[in-house]
Structure 1
Amino acid sequence: MLTGNEIRSKFIEFFEKKNHKHFESASLIPDDPTLLLTVAGMVPFKPYFLGQKEAPTPRVTTYQKCIRTNDLENVGRTARHHTFFEMLGNFSFGDYFREEAIIWSWEFITEVLKLDKDKLWVSVFTTDDEAEKIWVEKCNFPKERIVRMGESENWWAAGPTGSCGPCSEIHVDLGPAYGGDENSKLGDEGTDNRFIEIWNLVFTEWNRMEDGSLQPLPKKNIDTGAGLERVAAMVQGKSNNFETDLLFPIVEEAGRLTNTKYGTEPEKDFSLKVITDHARAVTFLVNDGVIPSNEGRGYILRRILRRAVRHGRLLGRKELFMYEMVDKVVEIMEEAYPELRKNIEHIKKVVKIEEEKFSNTLDQGMQLVMNEIEMAKSKGETKLSGDVTFKLYDTYGFPYELTEEICEENGIEVSKDEFLEKMEEQREKARSARAVVMEKGQDSFIEEFYDKHGKTEFTGYCDLMTPATLLSARELENGKYALIFDQTPFYAESGGQEADQGIIEGENLVAKVLDVQKQKEIYTHIVEIESGLDELVEGTLLNLTVDPVRREEIAKNHTATHLLHQALKDILGTHVQQAGSSCGAERLRFDFNHYEALTAEEIEKVEKAVNERIFMATSVNAEVMSMDDAKAKGATALFGDKYGDEVRVVSIGDYSMELCGGTHISNIGKIGIFKIVSEAGVAAGVRRIEAQTSYKAYLAVLEMEKTMKRVAKNLKTDLHKIEERSEKVVEETRELSKEVETLKAKVASFEANSLFDEIEEINGVKVLVKDFKDKEADSLREIVDKAKDKLGSCVIALGSDNEKAIFAIGVTKDLIGKVKAGDLVREAAKIAEGNGGGRPDFAQAGGKNGAKVKEALSAVKEILAKSL
Structure 2
Amino acid sequence: MTAKEIRQAFLNFFELKQHRIVSSAPIVVKNDPTLMFTNAGMNQFKEIFLGEKPASFNRVADTQRCLRVSGKHNDLEEVGIDTYHHTMFEMLGNWSFGDYFKKEAISWSWELLTEVYQIPKDRLYVTIFQGDEREGLPRDEEAYQIWKEFVPAERILEGNKKDNFWEMGETGPCGSCSEIHVDCRSDEERSETPGAALVNADHPQVIEIWNNVFMQYNRLKDGSLQDLPSKHVDTGMGFERLVRVLQRKSSNYDTDVFQPLIEFIASHSGIAYGADEQKDIAMRVMADHVRAISFVIADGQLPSNNKAGYVIRRILRRAVRYAYTFLSLKEPFLNRLVPVLADQFAGVFDELSAQRDFVQKVILEEEQSFLRTLATGIQRFERYSAEGGVITGAFAFELYDTFGFPIDLTELMAREKGLNVDMDGFQAALTQQKDRSRAATAIDAGDWIVLSPLEESTFVGYDELEIETEIVKYRKVNSKGKDQYHLVLRETPFYAESGGQVGDTGRLEDHSRLFYVDVIDTRKENGLTIHITETLPETLEGKFWAVVDEDRRRLTENNHSATHLLHAALKQVLGGHVNQKGSLVNADYLRFDFSHFAKITDEELLQIEQIVNARVRENIPLVEARNVPYQQALDSGVTALFGEKYGDFVRIITFDDHFSKELCGGTHVRATGQIGFVKIVAESAVAAGVRRIEAITADRAQEFILGQNTQIQALKSLLKGAKDLPAAVHTLLDENNRLRREMEKHLMERAAGMKTEVAAAVRIVNGLNLITFAVDLPSADAVKNLAYAVKDMVPHLVLVLTSLIDGKPGITVLLSDNVVQERGLNASAMVRELAKEIQGGGGGQPFFATAGGKKSEGLALVPAIAERLIS
TM-score normalized by the length of structure 2 = 0.67
Match of 1:690 in 2: 695
- Range with bigger deviation, 405-414 or 305-314: 405-414
Q: Residue type of the partner of 1:209?
A: L
Secondary structure of the corresponding residue to residue 212 of structure 2: strand
In structure 1, how many angstroms separate the alpha carbons of the residues matched to 2:783 and 2:204? Answer: 62
Secondary structure of the corresponding residue to residue 316 of structure 1: coil
Match of 2:81 in 1: 77
1:472-516, CA deviations, whole angstroms, 9 ceiling, x for partnerless residues? xxxxxxxxxxxxxxxxxx99999669999xxxxxxxxxxxxxx99
1:340, distance to aligned residue in structure 2 (A): 1.1
- Range with bigger deviation, 283-292 or 213-222: 213-222
Match of 1:658 in 2: 664
Match of 1:444 in 2: none
Match of 1:44 in 2: 44
Match of 2:108 in 1: 104
Match of 1:563 in 2: 565
In structure 2, how many angstroms separate the alpha carbons of the residues matched to 1:830 and 1:861? Answer: 15
Q: Residue type of the partner of 1:384?
A: G
In structure 2, how many angstroms separate the alpha carbons of the residues matched to 1:205 and 1:461? Answer: 39
Match of 1:261 in 2: 272
1:560, distance to aligned residue in structure 2 (A): 2.4
| Shift in CA distance, 856/125, structure 1 to aligned 2, threshold 3 Å | farther
In structure 2, how many angstroms separate the alpha carbons of the residues matched to 1:861 and 1:238? Answer: 76
1:419, distance to aligned residue in structure 2 (A): 4.1
Aligned counterpart in structure 2 of residue 610 of structure 1, from 589, 609, 612: 612
In structure 2, how many angstroms separate the alpha carbons of the residues matched to 1:339 and 1:256? Answer: 27
Match of 1:679 in 2: 683
Match of 1:350 in 2: 362
In structure 1, how many angstroms separate the alpha carbons of the residues matched to 2:780 and 2:407? Answer: 34
- Tell me the percent identity: 30
**8 Å contact kept, 1:323–1:348:** yes
Secondary structure of the corresponding residue to residue 216 of structure 1: strand
| Shift in CA distance, 859/78, structure 1 to aligned 2, threshold 3 Å | farther
**8 Å contact kept, 1:592–1:688:** yes
Q: Residue type of the partner of 2:354?
A: K
**8 Å contact kept, 2:199–2:206:** no
**8 Å contact kept, 2:106–2:146:** yes
| Shift in CA distance, 459/334, structure 1 to aligned 2, threshold 3 Å | closer
- Range with bigger deviation, 856-865 or 39-48: 856-865
Secondary structure of the corresponding residue to residue 283 of structure 1: helix
1:306-327, CA deviations, whole angstroms, 9 ceiling, x for partnerless residues? 2222223213223223332322
**8 Å contact kept, 1:576–1:594:** yes
**8 Å contact kept, 1:202–1:223:** yes
**8 Å contact kept, 1:180–1:190:** no
The aligned runs of 1:470-619 (5 Å cut-off) are 556=558, 559-564=561-566, 573-583=578-588, 588-590=589-591, 592=593, 599-600=600-601, 603-604=605-606, 606-611=608-613, 613-614=615-616, 617-619=619-621
In structure 1, how many angstroms separate the alpha carbons of the residues matched to 2:590 and 2:61? Answer: 42
| Shift in CA distance, 593/95, structure 1 to aligned 2, threshold 3 Å | same
Q: Residue type of the partner of 2:286?
A: I
| Shift in CA distance, 142/517, structure 1 to aligned 2, threshold 3 Å | closer
In structure 2, how many angstroms separate the alpha carbons of the residues matched to 1:819 and 1:155? Answer: 69
**8 Å contact kept, 1:21–1:59:** yes
Q: Residue type of the partner of 2:393?
A: L
- Range with bigger deviation, 412-421 or 170-179: 170-179
In structure 1, how many angstroms separate the alpha carbons of the residues matched to 2:833 and 2:28? Answer: 47
1:250 aligns with 2:261: yes
**8 Å contact kept, 2:813–2:830:** no
The aligned runs of 1:232-243 (5 Å cut-off) are 232-243=243-254
Match of 1:161 in 2: 171
- Range with bigger deviation, 46-55 or 185-194: 185-194
1:559, distance to aligned residue in structure 2 (A): 3.6
Aligned counterpart in structure 2 of residue 362 of structure 1, from 370, 374, 392: 374
- Range with bigger deviation, 9-18 or 254-263: 254-263
Q: Residue type of the partner of 2:302?
A: I
RMSD: 6.5
Match of 2:223 in 1: 212
Match of 1:543 in 2: none
| Shift in CA distance, 157/551, structure 1 to aligned 2, threshold 3 Å | closer
| Shift in CA distance, 316/834, structure 1 to aligned 2, threshold 3 Å | farther
Q: Residue type of the partner of 2:251?
A: N
Q: Residue type of the partner of 2:292?
A: A
1:272 aligns with 2:283: yes
Name stretches of at least 5 consecutive residues in structure 1 with no aligned partner: 432-446, 448-456, 465-489, 501-514, 525-545
In structure 1, how many angstroms separate the alpha carbons of the residues matched to 2:552 and 2:66? Answer: 47
- Range with bigger deviation, 320-329 or 624-633: 624-633
Name stretches of at least 5 consecutive residues in structure 2 with no aligned partner: 131-138, 415-419, 442-448, 450-458, 467-492, 507-517, 523-529, 535-547
The aligned runs of 1:105-254 (5 Å cut-off) are 105-126=109-130, 127-138=139-150, 141-164=151-174, 165-175=176-186, 181-183=192-194, 185-187=196-198, 192-254=203-265
1:228, distance to aligned residue in structure 2 (A): 1.1
1:619-650, CA deviations, whole angstroms, 9 ceiling, x for partnerless residues? 12568889999999989999999x9xx99986
The aligned runs of 1:21-36 (5 Å cut-off) are 21-31=20-30, 32-36=32-36
- Range with bigger deviation, 847-856 or 231-240: 847-856
1:133-175, CA deviations, whole angstroms, 9 ceiling, x for partnerless residues? 322314xx23323322212222222222222232222323324
1:89, distance to aligned residue in structure 2 (A): 0.8
1:21, distance to aligned residue in structure 2 (A): 0.8
Secondary structure of the corresponding residue to residue 415 of structure 1: helix
In structure 1, how many angstroms separate the alpha carbons of the residues matched to 2:292 and 2:495? Answer: 42
The aligned runs of 1:376-525 (5 Å cut-off) are 377-378=388-389, 381=390, 383-385=392-394, 388=395, 397-399=402-404, 402-403=406-407, 405-407=409-411, 410=414, 411-412=420-421, 413=423, 414-421=425-432
Match of 2:324 in 1: 313
Q: Residue type of the partner of 1:153?
A: D
Match of 2:444 in 1: none
Q: Residue type of the partner of 1:290?
A: Q
TM-score normalized by the length of structure 1 = 0.67
1:669-702, CA deviations, whole angstroms, 9 ceiling, x for partnerless residues? 4546533122357999994602345995698499
Size of the alignment, in residue pairs? Answer: 749
**8 Å contact kept, 2:27–2:66:** yes
Match of 1:298 in 2: 309
1:205-262, CA deviations, whole angstroms, 9 ceiling, x for partnerless residues? 2222222222222222111111111111122222121221111221233345545432
1:363, distance to aligned residue in structure 2 (A): 1.6
In structure 2, how many angstroms separate the alpha carbons of the residues matched to 1:759 and 1:326? Answer: 69
**8 Å contact kept, 2:19–2:60:** yes
Secondary structure of the corresponding residue to residue 586 of structure 2: strand
- Range with bigger deviation, 196-205 or 648-657: 648-657
Match of 1:54 in 2: 54
Larger relative contact order, structure 1 or 2 (CA cutoff 8 Å, min sep 6): 2
Secondary structure of the corresponding residue to residue 406 of structure 2: helix
Secondary structure of the corresponding residue to residue 24 of structure 1: coil
**8 Å contact kept, 2:318–2:406:** yes
1:289, distance to aligned residue in structure 2 (A): 0.6
**8 Å contact kept, 2:553–2:587:** no
